[in-house]
Every structure is written in structure tokens, then in C-alpha cells.
Amino acid sequence: MDFYVIFFAFLFALTVNVQSYIIPREALDSDGCARIHNEFITKEKTIFSYADVKDCYQHFPFDKDIASETIDTLIGLVNGFYIFLDKAKEPPEPGFDFRPTDVKHLFYDLKDPHTNFGSYCFTTFAFHTNMTFYSVVNNGEQKIKVFDDTIDQDNIDCEVTHIDGQQALEVITEFAKDSVYASRDLGVRFNIALDRAYKFPSFAVRVEIPEKPDITYTLKCDNKNPFDVKRNWNAFAQNITNLNKFKDSKSYFDNICNPSDGIKLSRPSTSFQETTIIPDSLNDILEQDPSITTIKIVDGFISFFKVQDFGIVKFYTENPVDRNGTTKMLPDVIQGFEELANTGVKKVVLDLSDNTGGYIFTTYFTSLLLFPDTFPSFDFDIRITKQMRLAITEQYKLLTSNNIYDIQGYVDAKTHANFTSAEDFIGNNVYERGGIKDNYSNKYVDEAGINSMRQIIQNNLTTPLPWKPEDFIILTNGLCGSSCSLITEHAAEFSNVSTVAIGGLARNKLLSYSSFTGGSVVNATQTFNSLGELGLLNNPLMPKPFPLTGLTASYAIKEVYSKINPDDILDFTFKPADFRLFYDEKNIRNFSILWSQAAALIGSKSKIN
């Protein structure tokens, strides 16, 4: 079966500063890494000072040769395999807000230490000031407020008027513009900047080291006079395991920046649950609310609830693989839908907020289950460069396992016939994008993946689910990416399911309900492993691996076409929701209220879009 993880937590690492590093000989007492180790060992501390982390990171100065080899690898990867190399040069559609990019040039710019790339060197710590925020719109005026403050609870719900002396709303919007990268819609990036699900760094919880050690918030509480709160940025280990890996900057470099056995994913804890920021899981919070009835929880994946007379299906991820690597959760999900149907609810809110994706087969599964009369997949294709042509052709011959260049199981999107050869898949399609002509493969769908999901549903669903497309509404905060985005786009495009997006910037009437559809994301490790299996690692056409093992990159390798407008690529198409909600002082803390607002829109004719 063709399992593709199309999004993964490592994107966390992609906003850190770019530098490449060698170790100068420094005395221990001037080594921030050593001071961190000392505090960890002698005082069992896991929270560290900004100054120590900054000093630790600064022990790895710029190395020209490593930088230039790194850039060569990145350019090799994007030239050879990145699907949107040309498309990214086109100006954004109205509704989107991003700079058209010459991706290659962007990587040359990496010589500037303020541009981004992925290094484990700089993801060990995250920074926060013990405050989190939200945004409300009162009489058309958008404000930033304090969601939580673990140091002074009296500050909760106070308005933040200024941050370091500048208008708070502007500061957060600028942060969303420049430092949040997970959507082409600025409103969604604004939501991510304030998000407390911590799927990505936010304004309140950073991975990129803040510019200065402290930050001053001006607060206005009730009708009292505004006052300033000055806070230090504290650094905490994203994954405490990493604190055992070094005792000074030399061992930090050897074991984290450039580990001899390659990257063993001590992946950042994506939910920050090891810290005190999120005391309870969302499921725990929901189960404690008497206005919400829990129907079934499929752990870490999908939960089913009932509020008043409607149902809620909360999709946390598209990753239904348990610790044993099996997909036994899928029959459980079918059972959850059946139990929800048995409660007699006629309307269902599908909440896909804060969902960054998972396996693409989950999208086939969900679409086949909820919309059995539709074909569960969009059309995909691949940009055929010389490198891609060679890799696909070799894999077609050698049939190595788990290879990212494998096209077995794909069928022609139009005829559903098997491809009879690598050439038959590659085809002869030249499209012009961003002013560049390039070859693209024939459009395909993954029939093997679809059939295996169809089988699971056939064997486990006892009665068809009672709901029609008009009985659902999709609710998101726009942070619904990758496989999540494929589910929502499929429901909207194939079945006309209504969508409602919450939050964003009040000054923009429309807000996207999904982001970064991608097609399939792969990383440098997978790329080099796959090329290695095909004996292509030393082929002069192919990129060379990174000079440090602690460096990595990921990129989209496939693209997805809209069903309704077959020339549109979903990633670059502005798809605003039919309805819009804003956060307020109540629904920001009470899901029962938020979901009721969404459920009230099911069947409504007053679409804004």
C-alpha cells in the first residue's frame, strides 16, 4: 500500500536562523551550553535563561564552506524535485498574501543569517513569557487580549494595547506576515500567530530566538489605567531528552548539530505537553464540560461528541497509526460514526481546526465513508525534471520498497487504466508556470490506496451513515493543512459541504478554510535513502547530502488539481469559507458555544462568499 506521510512536525525546525558552524575553543565558563548543562544536572532545571541559550547557539559561528555545500544541497533538491519551483514565481491570487519567490534565489540568500533553513542545532529550545493571547472583534474593532498568564492571573482577559510601545494588533499582524509560514492567507497566519495548539511556533511561544531578552506588554484591564508588564523570555527544552545529549558546546555540536549516527528524531514535542503550558489535553477539557456528551474517543485521532441536538466530529490529525504501526483505529472510527448516528443527531459539525495532516490514505477513508457517492481523490501530478525522470524510471525497473519515486498503484486519472511503463506515466505534458516551461507527468490517482480503504469500510460499516452533504458543516481556523486540507477541499468541491472559518483579521471579509494542500511532502533523508536504493547517490545529476547530519529540509513533491476548475492547483487557489465567525471572550474558552454557532449555520442561505 502506498502510505504517504504528507505533513510532519519537523516543519518546526524550518524557521530557525541559518548558519553553519564550527567550534572555537572557548573557556567553559564562557560557554552557555555548559551553563545550561550545569543547571540541568545540579538543579534539575528545565527552564533556562535567554542569555545562556543565546550564548550556547552563538558558539557555532558561520563557516563558509559548510554554508556553500548546504546551499548546493538545497538547490539540488528544489531543482530536481520541488513541485512548485516555477509556480512559486507567480504573483498571489487576490485573497492571498505572500511574496512570489524565486526559490533558488531564496536559498542563495541563505548566506544571510536571517533567512531560514532547517537545522536541529537551533530547535532544542522554545521561548515564552508565560502569557498567551487571543483576538476579539468588538463593534468592528479588533483587539488583542490575554488568554492566560501563569505569573499573574489578574491579567487574564485584559486588553493588550501595545507591545514594546507599538500597537499590539499591528505587532501580531507583522509577526504573522514575516514569521509564520504555514499558509498563503495572512488571516490564517494571524490565527497561527495566536494559536495555542502549538502545532507551529506562535507569537507567544517561539522557536526562533527572540531578538532581545525581554518584551513589554501594555495592558488595559476593565476601566483601569493602562500599565506595563515587562517579561523575560524563558527558554525551555522542547524535548527534555535533548538535555542529556550535551555537556558543553562541543558535545552539543557533535550530538545535536552533527550527530555521527545521523538524525535520530528526538522530535520536538509538538504539543509542548512536556511543559506546563497545556495542562490538560483538549479531550479532557471537553469531557469535563457538562454541556458536551462524549460519544467516542479514538485516541489522538478523532473524537465524537454531542451538544444539544447536533453531533461534532473533532479530527485532530490524519494519522491513524497506533504505536504498533497498524491501522486498527480505522474500524474504531467507523464505529464512532455509527454510534453518533445512533444518537439520532440530524446535523453534524466537522471540526478540523489545528489539524496539520498525516497520511493521505486517511483522506480516501474519510471521503469514502462520508460521501460514498463521490470518487475520493483529486488528480495529482509530478514535475518531470531530468532527475525525476531518472529516479522514477529506475524505481519502475528495480521495485525497491518504500521508495518515494514509486508509481506502482497509480492509475491514469481519466481512464483509470494502469500505467504500462515509466514512460507511460511520465507522458509528454509541457506547462508554463511563472514564465517557465517544464514537463509534468500524466495526471494520476492512487487506486491501490483507495481500494484498501474501500475494503476496510466494506468490511466494517454495518449500515450506511444517515447524513447527506447538506447535513454537515466544516469548521476550521484555517490551520487545516495537507491531508486535512484534502478532506475539506474534497467535501467542499465534490459534495458542496458548507464551510465556516473562524478568526483571522477583521479587515478582510474572507478567510480560507484550509492551507498548504501540498500533495505529498518528503524530506531530504527520504530523498537520499530512495536515491541510494536506486544506486543514484553518486550520479552527477543528483544533489549531494548535507555536509552536517543535523541539517534537513522537506519539500512538496506532488501537486493537486481542483475538481471544479481543473487547471487550478489547490495550493495556489484562494478558497475562502462560505461563512465566517470571530472569537469572543466566551467561545474562545467554551467549545460548546463555538460549535453551536457553527451548527446554527448548517442549511443557512446567507453565505458571505
Ligand X SMILES: *[C@@H]1O[C@H](CO)[C@@H](O)[C@H](O)[C@H]1NC(C)=O
Question: Would you call 453 helix, strand, or coil by DSSP?
Answer: helix
For residue 555, the minimal CB distance to ligand X (Å) is 11
Residue 179 and residue 557: Cα distance in Å, rounded?
24
CB 548 to ligand X: min, Å = 12
525 is a contact residue toward ligand X (CB under 6 A): yes
Q: Which of 311, 336, 358, 409 binds ligand X (CB under 6 A)?
A: 409
Q: Which residues, 45 to 74, sit near ligand X by CB under 6 A?
A: 47
- Applying CB under 6 A, among 166, 276, 342, 539 the residue interacting with ligand X is 276
User: Does 429 engage in binding with ligand X (CB under 6 A)?
Assistant: no
- The nearer residue to ligand X, 151 or 507, going by C-beta atoms, is 151
Residue 3 identity:
F
Length of the chain: 609
Rounded alpha-carbon distances, angstroms, from residue 597 to 201, 307, 402: 28, 11, 44
Show the binding pattern over residues 280-319: x = contacts ligand X (CB under 6 A), - = does not: ---------xxx----------------------------
Whole-angstrom distance, CA of residue 426 vs CA of residue 418: 13
275 near ligand X (CB under 6 A): yes
Contact criterion met (CB below 8 Å) for 249 and 26: yes
Which CB atom, from 317 or from 523, has the smaller least distance to ligand X? 523
Using alpha carbons, select from 490, 212, 240 the residue that is nearest to residue 373: 490
Q: For cell 537551533, name the residue.
A: 122
Residue number, 427 or 466, with CB nearest to ligand X: 427
Stretch that binds ligand X, among 60-68, 73-81, 270-278, 359-367 (CB under 6 A): 270-278
Q: Which of 155, 482, 552, 573 binds ligand X (CB under 6 A)?
A: 552
Closest to ligand X by CB, 145 or 184: 145
373: left (phi over 0), alpha (psi -120 to 50) or beta: alpha
Query: Grid coordinates standing for 438?
Result: 517544464
Pick 307 or 345: Cβ nearer ligand X = 307
Contact assessment for residue 556 and residue 483, using Cβ atoms and an 8 Å cutoff: no
- Residue from 526, 541, 562, 600 that binds ligand X (CB under 6 A)? 526
Judged by CB under 6 A, does residue 151 bind ligand X?
Answer: yes
| Half-sphere CA count of 414, side-chain side, radius 13 A | 4
Nearest alpha-carbon partner for 319 in 334, 302, 307, 306: 302
Task: Please identify the residue of the shown chain whose CB is closest to the bound ligand X.
Answer: 266
Distance CA 325, CA 344 (A): 34
- If one asks whether residue 102 binds ligand X (CB under 6 A), the answer comes out as no
Give the nearer residue to ligand X in terms of CB position, either 8 or 467.
8
Using alpha carbons, list the distances in angstroms from residue 112 to 19, 55, 68, 69: 8, 20, 12, 15
Place of cell 453551536: 596
With vertex at residue 70, the alpha carbon angle to CA 66 and CA 76, rounded to the nearest 5 degrees, is 145
Residue 552 CA to its chain's centroid (Å): 16
Is residue 239 a contact point for ligand X (CB under 6 A)?
Answer: yes
Give the count of residues interacting with ligand X (CB under 6 A).
48
Tell me how far, at minimum, the Cβ of 326 lies from ligand X, in Å.
7
- Residue ranges that bind ligand X, judged by CB under 6 A: 5, 8, 10, 47, 130, 150-151, 234, 236, 239, 241, 263, 265-267, 269, 274-277, 289-291, 322-324, 331, 408-409, 418, 430, 437-439, 448, 455-456, 459-460, 495-496, 523, 525-526, 552, 590, 592-593
